[in-house]
C-alpha cells in the first residue's frame, strides 16, 4: 500500500493490505460524503479562523499537507482545540493527516517478526495510542512542531516509555552479545549516517544515531534493541537479564535511563532541524 492511499478522500483504493487501514480509509471516504461534515467544518471556520474557507475533511488534510510549518501548526492546533472541546470529527481529521507517519512507525517498529497478524496488532495499538495522545496533547504549551511532537510521542509510547516511573538508578554497563542487536544496529548505521534522524525512524535507527552522537553507549543501545525488539518467541527483558546476570528490575532501570537520554536528544535534534527548515523557507 502506498502512502497516497491515506489521501484518497472520495474513493477507497482497490488494494489495501491492512484491514484496519482499509476500514479507516473507507470511513474517511464516507465522512467526506456527508453533508453534516461540511456543515461542521463551516461552523469550525467561525470558531477557528485558521479553518475558515474549507468545505470538507479532505480539504483540511490537503491544506495541512500543502502548508508551511507555521501554517501546519495553525491548522492542526485549531483542530486539536476543537477535538478536545468535544468535536470528534476534528480529531479524526488530525488522525487522517497523520496516518502516513503512523503507518511508517508501525512498519518500522515490528522488530524481526514478519507475522502479519502481529503487525496488524501493532497498527491497532499505534492508532489507539495516538488517539490517547491527541486527546491530552498540551496545545497551549506545545503549539509548535505539532505533527513532529505527535509522531514522536507515539513512537515513544510504542517503544515502551511509561509515565510515572521512578528515576532510574545507574547500572554498570556490561557488553551484550551482538548476535541479534548488533546485526540490527549494523544494518541501520549506514542509512542513519546518510540521512540523519527523522520522526519516521524506528528504534534501531534512533539508537544507532544516538550512539554516533555519544548520547548513549553502544552497550545501552544494544540493550534497548534486545529488550524492545526481541527475537520472536523470546522475552527481551528476561533474556537480557540472564545474559547480564542482572534482575529484571535492574534491566528495566537501565533501559529507562537510556530512554530518557534518547527522548531529550531526539527532541532537541528534531526541534533544531525544524527551526533550520523554517529559516530556509523564510529566506
Position 116 scores a pLDDT of: 52
Residue pLDDT, tens place only, 1-41? 445 778 889 887 777 778 888 888 889 999 999 999 999 99
Q: Are 64 and 97 in contact (CB under 8 A)?
A: yes
Min mean pLDDT across 68-72, 80-84, 188-192, 253-257 is at 188-192
What's the rounded mean pLDDT across residues 220-233? Answer: 75
Residue 118, domain member (yes or no):
yes
The grid coordinates listed for 258 are 537510556
**Final residue belonging to a domain, choices 112, 143, 158:** 158
User: Rounded distance, CA 97 to CA 7, Å?
Assistant: 8
Residue 168, domain member (yes or no):
no
Q: Give the number of other CB atoms < 10 A from CB of residue 173.
A: 14
Q: Same structural domain for residues 90 and 9? A: yes
Domain count, the chain: 2
Residue 196 CA: distances (Å) to CA of 93, 101, 208, 270: 29, 17, 10, 10
User: Rounded distance, CA 83 to CA 94, Å?
Assistant: 9
Residue whose C-alpha is closest to residue 154's, from 127, 125, 130, 181: 130
Position 161 scores a pLDDT of: 44
Averaged pLDDT score across all residues of the chain: 77
Higher pLDDT, 169 or 82: 82
- Residue 267 CB-half CA count within 13 A: 13
Q: Same structural domain for residues 73 and 137? A: yes
Q: Same structural domain for residues 191 and 145? A: no
Position 115 scores a pLDDT of: 46
Residue 189, domain member (yes or no):
yes
Alpha helical stretches, state H, 34-180: 35-47, 57-66, 69-84, 88-108, 116-135, 146-158
Residue with cell 468545505: 55
Residue pLDDT, tens place only, 171-181? 333 333 334 44
Residue whose C-alpha is closest to residue 44's, from 6, 94, 106, 113: 94
Q: Same structural domain for residues 152 and 256? A: no
Position 167 scores a pLDDT of: 33
Q: Same structural domain for residues 26 and 154? A: yes
Instruction: Report residue 234's pLDDT band, with 50, 70 and 90 as the boundaries.
Output: low
Position 108 scores a pLDDT of: 59
User: Rounded distance, CA 188 to CA 205, Å?
Assistant: 5
How far the first Cα of the chain sits from its last, in Å, is: 37
Residue 245, domain member (yes or no):
yes
The grid coordinates listed for 183 are 546485526
Instruction: Report residue 66's pLDDT band, with 50, 70 and 90 as the boundaries.
Output: very high
Instruction: Report residue 61's pLDDT band, with 50, 70 and 90 as the boundaries.
Output: very high
Instruction: Report residue 122's pLDDT band, with 50, 70 and 90 as the boundaries.
Output: confident
Check: pTM over 0.85? Answer yes or no: no
Q: Same structural domain for residues 149 and 196? A: no
Residue 242, domain member (yes or no):
yes
Residues 6+ apart with CB under 8 A from 209: 192, 196, 197, 201, 269
**Final residue belonging to a domain, choices 158, 192, 212:** 158
The grid coordinates listed for 130 are 495516538
Alpha helical stretches, state H, 229-247: 236-244
Instruction: Report residue 166's pLDDT band, with 50, 70 and 90 as the boundaries.
Output: very low
Q: Quick check: helix, strand or coil at residue 6? A: helix
Residues 6+ apart with CB under 8 A from 135: 83, 84, 91
Q: Could you list the residue range(s) of the whole structural domain that residue 198 is in? A: 181-282
Q: Same structural domain for residues 153 and 186? A: no
- pLDDT > 70: percent of the chain: 72
Q: Same structural domain for residues 185 and 149? A: no
Q: Same structural domain for residues 47 and 185? A: no
**Final residue belonging to a domain, choices 114, 143, 158:** 158
Q: Same structural domain for residues 9 and 149? A: yes
Q: Same structural domain for residues 59 and 140? A: yes
Residue 258, domain member (yes or no):
yes
Residue 164, domain member (yes or no):
no
Q: Same structural domain for residues 28 and 111? A: yes
Amino acid at each position: 500500500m502506498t502512502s497516497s492511499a491515506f489521501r484518497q478522500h472520495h474513493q477507497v483504493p482497490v488494494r489495501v493490505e491492512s484491514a484496519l487501514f482499509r476500514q479507516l480509509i473507507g470511513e474517511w471516504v464516507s465522512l467526506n460524503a456527508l453533508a453534516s461534515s461540511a456543515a461542521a467544518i463551516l461552523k469550525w471556520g467561525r470558531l477557528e479562523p485558521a479553518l475558515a474557507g474549507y468545505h470538507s475533511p479532505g480539504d483540511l488534510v490537503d491544506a495541512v499537507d500543502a502548508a508551511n510549518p507555521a501554517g501546519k501548526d495553525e491548522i492542526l492546533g485549531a483542530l486539536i482545540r476543537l477535538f478536545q472541546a468535544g468535536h470528534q470529527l476534528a480529531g479524526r481529521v488530525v488522525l487522517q493527516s497523520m496516518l502516513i507517519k503512523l503507518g511508517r512507525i508501525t512498519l518500522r517498529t515490528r522488530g524481526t517478526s514478519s507475522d502479519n497478524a502481529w503487525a496488524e496488532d501493532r497498527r491497532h495499538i499505534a492508532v489507539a495510542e495516538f488517539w490517547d495522545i491527541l486527546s491530552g496533547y498540551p496545545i497551549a504549551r506545545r503549539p509548535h512542531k505539532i505533527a513532529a511532537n505527535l509522531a514522536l510521542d507515539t513512537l515513544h509510547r510504542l517503544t515502551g516509555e511509561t509515565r510515572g516511573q521512578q528515576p532510574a538508578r545507574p547500572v554498570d554497563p556490561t557488553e551484550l552479545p551482538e548476535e541479534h542487536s548488533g546485526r540490527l544496529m549494523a544494518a541501520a548505521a549506514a542509512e542513519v549516517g546518510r540521512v540523519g534522524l527523522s520522526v519516521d525512524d524506528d528504534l534501531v535507527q534512533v539508537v544507532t544515531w544516538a550512539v554516533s552522537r555519544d548520547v548513549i553507549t553502544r552497550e545501552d543501545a544494544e540493550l534497548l534493541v534486545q529488550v524492545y525488539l526481541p527475537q520472536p518467541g523470546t522475552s527481551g527483558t528476561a533474556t537480557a537479564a540472564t545474559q547480564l546476570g542482572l534482575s529484571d528490575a535492574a534491566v528495566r532501570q537501565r533501559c529507562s535511563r537510556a530512554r530518557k537520554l534518547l527522548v531529550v536528544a531526539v527532541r532537541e535534534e528534531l526541534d533544531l532541524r525544524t527551526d533550520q527548515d523554517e529559516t530556509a523557507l523564510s529566506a
